[in-house]
Structures are given as C-alpha cells and as structure tokens.
Amino acid sequence: MNTIGHLFRLTTFGESHGIAIGGIIDGCPSQLKLDFGFIDSELQRRKTALGPNASQRREADTIEWLSGLMDGVTLGTPIAFMVRNEDCKPEDYEALKDVYRPSHADFTYERKYGIRDWRGGGRASARTTLPIVVAGAIAKQMLSEKGIQVAGAVTAMGDAEMARREGDTVGGTVECRITGVPAGLGEPMFCKYSAELAHAIFSIPAVKGFEVGDGFALAKMKGSEANDIFINKEGATATNHSGGIQGGISNGNDVIFRVAFKPIPSVGMGERHDVCALPRGVVIVEALAAMVTLDLSMRRNL
C-alpha cells in the first residue's frame, strides 16, 4: 500500500538515496489554480538543515511538475510530481550494509522483501514524507475555500539541545486542530473520521501514539465528567472532550487530536539525522489531516 485516500488519493514513490522522491495525486478537481508559493513554504517547514537539531542533509527540494497542470491550473487528470535527491551520501551507510540498526526498519524490511535498501533506510526514511507535504498543501488550499483550517503545534518535547550534546535523541507530542469542520463527516464502522485519521497518522515514521480529544485521559474520568452536554438544537456542546468526533462522525466542534513521536533511533551516528522529529513533523501531521478531511468532505460532496 503506497496509496492513501479514496476520492482524493496520493501514491508516493522513491527512496531516501534514490534518484528522486515523488507522487501522483488523483481526484484533484479541474480548474484549481495552485498556490505554488504556499506549497513551497510548506516544504520549507519540513526541510532539513534548518537548525542545529535538524538533519544537516541539504536538499533544494525543488518540485518538478510532470503532469496534470497547464499554466498552473489543474486539468482534473493525475498530477504527477517529483523532487530530485541531490545531497545523497550512500557511502555514509556502507558500513551498515550487514548490520540491523536498533529500532529501525532494517530487520523487518529484509524479512518482508528478502532485500533492503541500506542507503539511509531507503523507503522507510522520513525523506519519503515529502510527497505527503505536497499533497497536503493542495488539500489545505481546497479546504481553505470551504472555510476549514488545519493547524498543528509541538506541545511537549524532550531537551533537544542536551540530547544533541550527548549524541542522543528525544521524542515528544504534536497536537493538531481542524477548525470549520461541518457536522456529518465520517463513515459508519470502518471508515470513521477518527479511524481514517489514525490510519493516516500512523504512516509517519516515528509515530507511536494517537488520541482524539481527551483520549487516554477519558479512561480516568467518570461518565458525568466526560460527557459533552448539548446546549442547543444545532448540536453545540458545553465541552469538547470527544475532540469533535462522536460515533466516528464529526459533530461540528473543532477536531482535535494528539500524536506521540518516539525518539529518532539514529543515536550517535553523526549529523545527518534529526535530534527530534517534532519540529519537521508538524507539517506532515497537518498534511495528512488535511488529506483525510478533504477526502471525507468529497465523499459527502461538500
């Protein structure tokens, strides 16, 4: 499964040290004038080498648009794009060809496929999230026209500076809030809004936890404390413990969820890895949340 989405779909391709990373977006409507400046600014948010605690791999991340556009306007046909990998140093990983790095996907990929790309983790690398950000930027543009906004922020993180000095890494938590979501998004049973979000978010490398609304804290509450009491016939509630989703369907409140990132497993292996994934991970969380929300809204023809 290298494809996500039902009506608005993204298929990604490429490896960390391959020729290029890219994607194909299907289901994007015609006559949408893309905001290329916004797309580039979103890529800038996940870019490497932007600080002492980020990977010092230096990539231009220049998008080459291959199909689906004419004069910057969508044609309704598949939008194909790629970004060439320019700062590749596979020789840095040659000593690891026959070594399974702890908590990486080296062992599991080799067991699954009988072969693995040892150059920076190959397909398992965080580099493969770049196409998600591109598709997410387009989804955000389309959602904005519907009055829906997606915004994330780091809410907890270990001491990255100390970890960097010690040659170590840290994890943390990202919270994402989706505003302007109408009531009624989400399908019964197996395509619930919350389930679709979780499915998408867990595709991000290093993600190990997900909760909607008050999440695990609800397990410690009484029902009288956790209930979101209705205050009018339009569905407004006094609280939002449910995080804007009840029965797997949006209720009109802000959709709120949190994501737990584990520490990057590349400990003491030089400068070409992040000390913490969170600063660059926020835009990836937002992108997937936007894609899921857009896909569900398209299913309701909103």
Please name the residue that has the structure tokens 């907890």: 156
Convert the pLDDT of each residue in 211-228 to its tens digit. Answer: 999 999 999 999 999 999
239/213 Cα distance (integer angstroms): 10
Among the listed ranges 45-54, 107-116, 277-286, which one has the minimum average pLDDT value? 45-54
Convert the pLDDT of each residue in 107-166 to its tens digit. Answer: 998 999 999 888 878 888 888 999 999 999 999 999 999 999 999 999 999 999 899 889
Q: Is the pLDDT score of 257 beyond 80?
A: yes
Q: Is the pLDDT score of 97 beyond 90?
A: no
Q: Is the pLDDT score of 93 beyond 80?
A: no
**Within 13 Å and on the Cβ side, how many CA atoms surround 7?**
13
Please name the residue that has the structure tokens 């949190």: 258
- pLDDT confidence band for 181 (50 / 70 / 90): very high
Among the listed ranges 46-55, 58-67, 185-194, 228-237, which one has the minimum average pLDDT value? 46-55
- Average pLDDT, integer, range 31-53: 88
Q: Is the pLDDT score of 53 beyond 90?
A: no
- Average pLDDT, integer, range 77-84: 97
Contact call for residues 36 and 71 (beta carbons, < 8 A): no
Better-scored residue on pLDDT, 265 or 137: 137
Name the helix (H) or strand (E) containing 136.
helix 130-144
Coil vs helix vs strand at 296? helix
236, 242, 245, 250 alpha-carbon torsion, rounded to 10°: 10
Q: Is the pLDDT score of 270 beyond 80?
A: no
192/156 Cα distance (integer angstroms): 27
- Average pLDDT, integer, range 248-255: 96
**What domains appear along the chain, each with residue ranges and CATH number?**
3-299 (3.60.150.10)
Among the listed ranges 30-44, 76-90, 250-264, 279-293, which one has the minimum average pLDDT value? 76-90
Q: Is the pLDDT score of 271 beyond 70?
A: no
Tell me what pLDDT residue 21 has.
Answer: 95
152/171 Cα distance (integer angstroms): 16
Tell me what pLDDT residue 299 has.
Answer: 93
Tell me what pLDDT residue 63 has.
Answer: 97
Name the helix (H) or strand (E) containing 74.
strand 73-74
Pairing relationship of beta strands 20-26 and 79-84 according to DSSP bridges: antiparallel
| Cα 184-189-190 angle, rounded to 5 deg | 105
143/291 Cα distance (integer angstroms): 9
- pLDDT confidence band for 54 (50 / 70 / 90): low
- pLDDT confidence band for 67 (50 / 70 / 90): very high
Q: Mean pLDDT over all residues of the chain?
A: 92
Residue ranges of alpha helices (H) inside 11-105 are 36-45
Residues 6+ apart with CB under 8 A from 111: none
Model confidence, pTM? 0.93
